[in-house]
């Protein structure tokens, strides 16, 4: 048995190739906290957290500090195969800080996969599908004409599903959705994300006005805390409803299920605390007839690969996933996953199949 002897962290910063605009504002750079967990025999696993402070309240510096000063002590000397026990121990030591635990969880899964010589999707239950399709996820809030042009550009690159950011002004949002539908035609799937931008009543009116443009679903139309409002929206409209900011834990999943508030769970590992906790959420969703979609917080190839392995292993993850981080950033650190057209090519190499292109640790 090879025990964990070290945990190292690094923060890397990547430029975003296309500025992203949402109800939270816009940003042009993304920071990533990379974790390396090493065992006595020299085998190591890599994990990533690309924190979004407006989701979990954790900055990159905070994530690094929490791992270096608190969570590392939980792992040193332990058996890396005891992933559930280690995650529970981290929860007991620090109840929140999901983004920090996400990087640790990812590194543990990568490490154990390498120790066993198998890909991570096999650790998570094996393949439920042979391949993954990606959605173009960041047609950001802008004028209808600019959103139309951006959407058309993604379709020309081969994408068949587009995600439009809305939620600031209902009238402009409706005009933008109309413009995009007109530009891409009826065969392209469109999903829209309000990022908590509406009240329940406004969300209902917007949904009824855009129903003729056949959106796949509306993501987080109301504030995260307003589960009753989200359920009211779902009962009142004919468009499926997805949760993102309302969903962090299995306990949140149970609240949403009991309220009959959603049709789709948006999975961000920086919110769930990693792959293992997200799998528990997916199990609850499967029992409730709810689909799961992985949403990337603009990760490097490392975090994208971990998300792809997870999506391969989940029976109720049949939608196009939002795993396009490497298309948005200048990632000079990792290689091992490819996005060709709208398809993700997942490696069968041990762990998540990602290797370092340059010396990071």
240-268: pLDDT as tens digits: 999 999 999 999 999 999 999 999 999 99
- Are 323 and 126 contacting, i.e. CB atoms less than 8 angstroms apart? no
Strands 334-335 and 355-356: antiparallel
pLDDT at 88: 98
DSSP state of 154: H
Q: Token pair of 18, please? A: 């296309």
pLDDT at residue 133, as a whole number: 95
Nearest to 299 by CA among 223, 222, 352: 352
- pLDDT at position 170 over 80: yes
Q: Is 60 helix (H, G, I), strand (E, B) or coil?
A: helix
Is 215 in contact with 190 (CB distance < 8 Å)? yes
Taking 90 as the threshold, does the pLDDT of residue 197 lie above it?
Answer: yes
Enumerate the active-site residues: 165, 268
Decide yes or no: CATH 3.20.20.120 for domain 123-356. Answer: yes
Beta-carbon contacts of residue 215 (< 8 Å; ≥ 6 apart): 177, 190, 191, 192, 239
Q: What are phi and psi of 153, to 5 degrees?
A: -60, -40
The residues that bridge with 27 in the sheet, in sequence order, are: 20
- Across 286-290, 317-321, 354-358, least confident range: 354-358
Task: Work out the pLDDT band at 54, boundaries 50, 70, 90.
Answer: confident
Return the DSSP state at 48. Answer: E
In this prediction, residue 276 has a pLDDT band, given cuts at 50, 70 and 90, of: very high
- At residue 231 the predicted structure's pLDDT band, cuts being 50, 70 and 90, is very high
Query: How many angstroms separate the CA atoms of 234 and 247, rounded?
Result: 16
Residues 87-141 have pLDDT tens digits of 999 999 999 999 999 999 999 999 999 999 999 999 999 999 999 999 998 788 9
Torsion of the alpha carbons at 167, 132, 354 and 191, rounded to the nearest 10: 0
pLDDT for the residue numbered 233: 98
> Cα 172 vs. chain centroid, distance in angstroms?
27
pLDDT band for 341, please (50, 70, 90 cuts). confident
Q: Which pair of structure tokens corresponds to residue 131? A: 């391949």
Across the range 350-361, mean pLDDT stands at: 93
Report d(CA 249, CA 33) in Å as an integer. Answer: 21
CA dihedral (269, 272, 276, 278) positive or negative: negative
Strand order in the sheet with 343-345: 132-133, 343-345, 338-340
pLDDT of residue 76: 98
Q: Is it the case that residue 331 has pLDDT exceeding 90?
A: no
Superfamily the domain 4-118 falls into = Enolase-like, N-terminal domain (3.30.390.10)
Within the chain, which residue ranges are assigned CATH 3.20.20.120? Answer: 123-356
Cα 71-74-76 angle, rounded to 5 deg: 110
Q: How much is the mean pLDDT over the chain?
A: 95
Tokens of 227: 């589960």
Let me know: does 20 contact 140? Beta carbons within 8 Å.
yes
**What is the mean pLDDT of the segment spanning 270-293?**
98
- CATH 3.30.390.10 in the chain, residues? 4-118
Distance CA 159, CA 256 (A): 31
pLDDT at 68 over 90: yes
Q: Residue 351 — left, alpha, or beta (φ > 0 → left; ψ -120 to 50 → alpha)?
A: left
For the chain, how many residues are written? 361
């Amino acid at each position: 048995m090879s025990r964990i002897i070290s945990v190292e962290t690094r923060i890397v910063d990547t430029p975003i190739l296309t500025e992203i605009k949402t109800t939270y504002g816009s940003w042009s750079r993304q920071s990533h906290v990379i974790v390396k967990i090493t065992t006595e025999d020299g085998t190591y696993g890599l994990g990533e957290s690309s924190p979004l402070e407006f989701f979990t309240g954790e900055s990159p510096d905070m994530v690094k500090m929490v791992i270096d000063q608190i969570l590392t002590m939980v792992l040193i000397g332990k058996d890396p195969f005891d992933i559930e026990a280690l995650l529970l121990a981290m929860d007991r030591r620090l109840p929140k800080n999901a983004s920090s635990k996400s990087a640790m969880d990812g590194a543990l899964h990568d490490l154990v996969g390498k120790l066993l010589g198998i890909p991570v999707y096999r650790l998570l239950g094996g393949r439920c599908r042979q391949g993954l399709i990606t959605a173009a996820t960041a047609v950001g809030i802008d004028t209808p004409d600019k959103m139309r042009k951006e959407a058309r550009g993604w379709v020309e690159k081969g994408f068949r599903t587009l995600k439009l950011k809305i939620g600031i002004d209902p009238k402009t949002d409706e005009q933008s959705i109309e413009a995009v539908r007109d530009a891409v035609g009826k065969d392209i799937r469109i999903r829209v994300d309000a990022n908590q931008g509406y009240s329940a009543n406004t969300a209902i009116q917007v949904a009824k006005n855009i129903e003729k443009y056949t959106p796949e679903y509306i993501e987080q139309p109301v504030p995260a805390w307003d589960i009753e409002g989200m359920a009211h929206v779902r009962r009142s409209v004919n468009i499926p409803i997805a949760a993102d900011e309302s969903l962090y834990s299995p306990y949140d999943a149970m609240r949403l299920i009991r309220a009959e508030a959603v049709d789709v769970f948006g999975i961000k590992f920086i919110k769930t605390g990693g792959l293992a906790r997200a799998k528990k959420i997916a199990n609850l969703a499967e029992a409730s007839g709810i689909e799961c979609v992985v949403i990337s917080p603009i990760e490097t190839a490392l975090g994208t690969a971990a998300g792809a392995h997870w999506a391969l292993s989940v029976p109720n993850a049949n939608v196009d996933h939002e795993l396009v981080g490497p298309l948005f950033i200048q990632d000079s650190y990792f290689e091992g996953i490819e996005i060709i057209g709208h398809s993700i090519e997942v490696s069968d190499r041990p762990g998540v199949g990602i290797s370092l292109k340059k010396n990071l640790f």
